Amino acid sequence: MTRQQLIDQIKQKKSFLCVGLDTDLDKIPEFLKQYPDPVFEFNKRIIDATKDLCVAYKPNSAFYESYGVKGLQSLIDTWQYLPKETLNIIDAKRGDIGNTSDKYARAFFDETASGMSFDAITVTPYMGNDSVTPYLKYEGKWVIILALTSSVGSKDFQYLNTGDDYLYEAVIKKANTWAGADRIMYVVGATKSTEFTNIRKYAPDNFLLVPGVGAQGGSLEDVCQYGITKDCGLLVNASRSIIYASNGEDFADAAREEAKSLQKQMAVELEKAGII
């Protein structure tokens, strides 16, 4: 998916919501356990209930890998079911030497090899250039680099002073030399909203994937105040607060309500910024 297609979708849906598919067998409604693949059944219903309200989906690979072969099949089936118009992100947070990154890229981007071809992947920048560039060999695919994460532990490394910059600033500066804002996004946690003004100095045009709204307590309003650009430039993710809004038979309706509430706030922010 191109940057322009993403922007068009944001304007059309009045939304920059990413629904996180962190699907956990221990948290999904009991009645789904009668289906051959409860995880896929859950995802299918969540997707049906939210696809007109969001512009992206983000299955987190850990939730699927943790069920072994069955989980991988659920992930493949989920990828196949995802709408073609949404930006479909695999949250894998991979990072390894080039030779190995080639294989990870193939696993998540090459449908003929693995049965999946996501539009974007989250990667960790710690191992540098050769660990990230293999993903960029795939035309039209996006790399989403961890910059300033929502986690408490973000202070351990990301705020280390490297001389002129914090490490997370140095990461953005360096990654900007690998590809432009049409191929690279950065992860910035919603819990770090006051840092967005600073982030925009280094990444004025890049889309930012912003997790941490909802269950982690980040504020959508603050994120927009400091992070929104003329093209929006934000994809705000919520996982648990949407998909586990209820664990009864009404779970998909409850997820829709939760997604709708975020979409409405996003429409207000897009109007405020003069984007729609």
Give catalytic residue positions. Answer: 93
Determine the 3-state secondary structure of 18 from DSSP: strand
Amino acid at 247: N
* Angle value at C-alpha 268, between 263 and 272, nearest 5 degrees: 145
Q: Which of 215, 254, 267, 276 binds ligand OMP (CB under 6 A)?
A: 215
β-sheet bridge partners, residue 142: 120
Q: How far is the CB of 237 from ligand OMP (least distance, A)?
A: 5
When the beta carbons of 50 and 60 are compared against ligand OMP, the nearer one is 60
Query: Judged by CB, which is closer to ligand OMP: 241, or 261?
Result: 241
Among the listed residues 41, 91, 119, 258, the single contact to ligand OMP using CB under 6 A? 91
Q: Would you count residue 59 as binding ligand OMP (CB under 6 A)?
A: no
Q: Is residue 247 near ligand OMP by the rule CB under 6 A? A: no
d(CA 181, CA 206): 5
Q: Nearest CA to 23 among 78, 101, 85, 94?
A: 78
Residue 167 sits in the site that holds ligand OMP (CB under 6 A): no
Pairing of strands 208-211, 184-188: parallel
Minimum distance, C-beta of residue 274 to ligand OMP, in the bound complex (Å):
28
* Residue selected from 237, 245, 252, 256 as contacting ligand OMP according to rule CB under 6 A: 237
Minimum distance from residue 158 beta carbon to ligand OMP (Å): 10
Q: Which of residues 25-44 bind ligand OMP (CB under 6 A)?
A: none
Q: Which of 214, 223, 251, 252 binds ligand OMP (CB under 6 A)?
A: 214
Report d(CA 229, CA 205) in Å as an integer: 7
* Cα→Cα distances 209→37, 56, 206, Å: 29, 10, 10
Q: Nearer Cβ to ligand OMP, position 116 or 187?
A: 187
Q: What is the dihedral of CA 106, 112, 117, 121, to 10 degrees?
A: 0
DSSP symbols for 41-54? HHHHHHHHHHTTT-
- Give the containing element (helix H, strand E) for 155: helix 154-157
Contact between 240 and ligand OMP by CB under 6 A: the answer reads yes
For ligand OMP, give the closer residue by CB, 8 or 221.
221
CB contact at 8 A, 201 and 164: no
Binding ligand OMP by CB under 6 A: which of 134, 189, 227, 233? Answer: 189
Tokens 């309706």 belong to which residue? 253
Instruction: From 94-102, 129-137, 148-156, 262-270, give the range in contact with ligand OMP by CB under 6 A.
Output: 148-156
Q: Which of 6, 145, 187, 259 binds ligand OMP (CB under 6 A)?
A: 187
Nearest distance from residue 121's CB to ligand OMP, in Å? 10
The full length of the chain comes to 276
Residues that bind ligand OMP (CB under 6 A): 20, 22, 60, 91, 122, 149-151, 187, 189, 211-212, 214-216, 237-241
